[in-house]
């Protein structure tokens, strides 16, 4: 059976598309976003696009989630967790956990400026 469609983009709901786009532009080393103050898009070669949609009454998911509010997150594979953590924090991300499972499979959970959780991981799993 042929695919029904092709993945085109991952969309983040947020209050401030400009802040979100700038954060992910820095973290993923992408070209500046295009669009307007309601919808901004970053081109991301391996994925397609990351877009940021303004929602005036947006509320970020809670970590840890217990009511189903966490539905998706990104894992970013990094070579050096300490270096990546420092860069994410400098870009405006904030940690949600300490470093988990220290050692060869270390990882840490962060939130972007709008509160979307994502993980920095040293081993893809």
pLDDT band at 125 (very low <50, low <70, confident <90, very high): low
Per-residue pLDDT tens digits for 61-108: 877 776 666 556 788 889 889 999 999 999 999 999 998 887 778 889
Instruction: With CA atoms as reference, report the closest residue to 12 among 65, 78, 73.
Output: 73
Task: Give the residue with greater pLDDT, 35 vs 75.
Answer: 35
49/111 Cα distance (integer angstroms): 20
Residue 70, both tokens: 């966490």
Superfamily of domain 7-55+71-119: 2,3-Dihydroxybiphenyl 1,2-Dioxygenase, domain 1 (3.10.180.10)
The ranges assigned to domains in the chain are: 7-55+71-119
């Amino acid at each position: 059976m042929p695919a029904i469609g092709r993945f085109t983009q991952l969309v983040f709901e947020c209050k401030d598309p400009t802040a979100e786009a700038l954060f992910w532009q820095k973290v993923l080393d992408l070209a500046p976003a295009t669009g307007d103050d309601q919808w901004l898009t970053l081109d991301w070669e391996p994925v397609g696009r990351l877009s940021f949609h303004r929602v005036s009454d947006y509320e970020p998911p809670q970590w840890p989630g217990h009511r189903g509010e966490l539905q998706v997150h990104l894992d970013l594979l990094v070579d050096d967790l300490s270096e990546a953590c420092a860069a994410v924090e400098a870009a405006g991300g904030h940690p949600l956990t300490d470093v988990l499972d220290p050692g060869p499979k270390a990882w840490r959970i962060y939130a972007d400026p709008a509160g979307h959780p994502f993980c920095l991981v040293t081993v893809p799993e």
